[in-house]
Amino acid sequence: MFFTTTTMEKKLFYNYFSTQIDAFIDAALNEDIGEADHTSLSCLDNAKRSAAKLIVKEQGVIAGVELAEIIFKKVSPSIKFNVLINDGNYVNEGDIVFTVEGPQYDLLTTERLVLNCMQRMSGIATLTKRLSEMIKHTNCTLLDTRKTTPNFRYPEKWAVTIGGGENHRFGLFDMLMIKDNHVDFNGSISNTLKKTQAYLKDINRELKTIVEVRNLSEIEECLAFPWIHRLLLDNMNPVELKAAIDKIGGVFPTEASGNITEESLVAVAETGVDYASLGALTHSAKNMDLSLKSMD
């Protein structure tokens, strides 16, 4: 399942993955609060209401606003959440993204989870936006990978869509990806794909199949299996990518992957490849500096 960056699709992300995101929130709150926030219990009165604001401390693309509201409302439905800047917008130091008002204990026990999520998501969205802008003159689209933080995959992939990228598969369950080890264990791509085709028929599922290829010979083998969804061109330089794309001749969409950096991305995109997948979008983004401060 792919998520692009139209306003409608960004707002639909939580609708599609509410079960997974709600489970993440529950686990994260339990991890942080445990039996109770004893510090807040010792000095705050949850019968009293206070207000706070989220302040931006550096430039970037804000992400996680919708998630923050979901987290706050999950802790206390009485919390009032006022959005001033929506997900996907550029922000500058000093901007106020939202204000929140509610029971004192509930606000402060929720603060760290909200900040952790938004700082991480905003960093990912900022990096994704910057790289997407670099290749906007091409037809190449940025994809993320499964190189995500354990148990935080859905917010990270959500942030990629907010920043202008698209999502690759979400896990091992929603798409088949035949990689080098699968091929090597079976002796050839043809042997592997024959088994894969039989498996899909046996389970009566139409899961999309991506095949990683390392050279022109492996591409030639793939041409005999027109049901393949996409070819992943692994660890190829721009010259090799162009030769591979010529060999494929438009039969399959193409994806470049492996050791793609910010410095090499433009040259990769300009080869005519349809997608470029970068693990760096989620594993190397720098968190954005944000702060939640009292308005009382």
Q: Where are the domains of the chain?
A: 7-126+286-294, 134-283
125-170 pLDDT tens trace: 999 999 999 999 999 999 999 999 999 999 999 999 999 999 999 9
Q: Which of 106, 144, 166, 212 is catalytic?
A: 212
What per-residue confidence (pLDDT) applies to 102? Answer: 97
- In the three-class reduction of DSSP (H, G, I as helix; E, B as strand; rest coil), residue 132 is classed as helix
Q: What is the pTM of this model?
A: 0.95
**Is 194 labeled as catalytic in the residue annotation?**
no
The answer to whether the CB of 189 falls within 8 A of the CB of 222 is yes
CA distance 219 to 189: 9
State the distance between the two ends of the chain, measured CA to CA, in whole angstroms.
Answer: 44
Q: Which of 101, 144, 218, 234 is catalytic?
A: 234
Least confident of 10-19, 108-117, 154-163, 233-242: 10-19
Residues 6+ apart with CB under 8 A from 32: 109, 112, 113
Residues 6+ apart with CB under 8 A from 252: 222, 228, 229, 230, 231
Q: Which of 49, 74, 112, 230 is catalytic?
A: 112
Is domain 134-283 classified as CATH 3.40.50.1100?
no
Number of H-type helices and E-type strands within the chain: 11, 12
What per-residue confidence (pLDDT) applies to 142? Answer: 97
82: enclosing H helix or E strand: strand 80-83
Confidence of residue 8 (pLDDT cuts 50, 70, 90): very low
What per-residue confidence (pLDDT) applies to 12? Answer: 87
**Is 37 labeled as catalytic in the residue annotation?**
no
CA distance 239 to 51: 57
CA dihedral 240, 131, 153, 274 (to 10 degrees): -40
**Is 26 labeled as catalytic in the residue annotation?**
no
What per-residue confidence (pLDDT) applies to 9? Answer: 56
Convert 8-42 to b/e letters by CB count within 10 Å (16 or more is b).
eebeebbeebeebbeebbeebbeeebeeebeebee
**Is 112 labeled as catalytic in the residue annotation?**
yes
Give the class (CATH, top level) of 7-126+286-294: alpha beta
**Is 202 labeled as catalytic in the residue annotation?**
no
pLDDT at 200 over 60: yes
pLDDT at 259 over 70: yes
36-78 pLDDT tens trace: 999 999 999 889 999 999 999 999 999 999 999 999 999 999 9
Q: Which of 49, 53, 147, 208 is catalytic?
A: 147
Q: Which of 11, 48, 136, 179 is catalytic?
A: 179
What would the mean pLDDT of 226-234 be, rounded to a whole number?
97
Mean pLDDT for the chain? 95
Residue ranges of E strands in 135-219: 141-143, 176-178, 209-213
Confidence of residue 10 (pLDDT cuts 50, 70, 90): low
